[in-house]
C-alpha cells in the first residue's frame, strides 16, 4: 500500500462523522442525477405518446403524389406501410350540432389510415354511410 492510501484510510478512521456525511452526500447526489435523467426520459416518452394520441401514429407524409410515385413508395423497402388519404374539402352539414360551423372537412381514406390517423368515432357506423346522405353538398375548391 502506498503512502497516499495509508494517509487516506487514517483520515477516514479519525473523522468518522465527516466520512459518513460525505458518503451520504455522494449517495444523494447520484440519486438526484439519476432522478433527473429518468425524468427527462419519461418526459420524452410522454411527448411521443401525446403526439401519437393527438395526431396519429405516422412518420412521414407526401403531398401531390402521382400514380407512378405511389407505386414506387409502396415497393420501397424503407417505407413500412403506405396509407392513402385524399382531401376533398369542406362539405355542408345541415344537421350539425354546432350552428356556427355547419360544415365539416371531407377526406377519402383507405382502411389503413383509420388505424394510423387520429380518428375517433363515438358510436355507430354513421361515418361509413355519411357520404350517401342527401344533406351533403361538397364545396368547390
Does residue 77 belong to any structural domain of this protein? no
Tell me the pLDDT band of 134, cut-offs 50, 70 and 90: very low
Could you tell me where the beta strands, DSSP code E, fall in the chain? 85-93, 103-109, 136-138
pLDDT at 122: 58
Q: Which domain holds residue 100?
A: 82-138
pLDDT of 2 higher than 70? yes
Higher pLDDT, 108 or 129: 108
pLDDT of residue 120: 61
Residues 50 and 91 in one domain: no
pLDDT of residue 133: 47
Counting residues of the chain whose pLDDT is more than 70, the rounded percentage is 77
Rounded CA-CA distance 61/43 in Å is 26
Residue 129 banded pLDDT, cuts 50, 70, 90: low
Give the contacts of 107 (CB within 8 A, at least 6 positions apart): 85, 86, 87, 88
Here the cell at position 84 is 392513402
User: To the nearest whole number, what is the mean pLDDT of the chain?
Assistant: 80
> Does 88 fall in a domain?
yes
Most confident of 20-24, 48-52, 101-105: 20-24
Same-domain pairing of 86 and 132 = yes
Cβ atoms 78, 56 nearer than 8 A = no
Sequence-distant (6+) residues with CB within 8 A of 88 are 106, 107, 108, 138, 141
Are 47 and 88 in the same domain?
Answer: no
Asked whether residue 20 is domain-assigned, the answer is: yes
Whether pTM > 0.75 for this model: the answer is: no
pLDDT band (50, 70, 90) for residue 71: confident
Query: For the residues of 31-72, what is the DSSP string, one character each?
Result: HHHHHHHHHHHHHHHHHHHHHHHHHBS-----SS--HHHHHH
Amino acid at each position: 500500500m502506498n503512502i497516499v492510501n495509508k494517509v487516506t484510510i487514517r483520515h477516514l478512521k479519525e473523522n468518522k462523522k465527516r466520512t459518513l456525511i460525505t458518503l451520504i452526500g455522494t449517495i444523494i447526489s447520484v440519486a438526484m442525477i439519476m432522478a433527473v435523467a429518468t425524468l427527462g426520459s419519461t418526459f420524452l416518452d410522454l411527448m411521443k405518446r401525446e403526439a401519437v394520441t393527438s395526431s396519429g401514429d405516422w412518420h412521414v407524409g407526401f403531398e401531390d403524389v402521382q400514380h407512378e410515385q405511389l407505386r414506387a413508395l409502396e415497393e420501397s423497402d424503407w417505407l413500412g406501410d403506405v396509407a392513402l388519404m385524399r382531401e376533398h374539402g369542406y362539405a355542408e352539414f345541415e344537421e350539425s350540432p354546432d350552428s356556427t360551423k355547419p360544415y365539416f372537412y371531407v377526406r377519402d381514406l383507405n382502411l389503413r389510415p383509420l388505424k394510423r390517423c387520429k380518428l375517433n368515432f363515438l358510436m355507430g357506423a354513421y361515418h361509413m354511410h355519411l357520404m350517401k346522405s342527401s344533406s351533403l353538398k361538397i364545396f368547390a375548391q
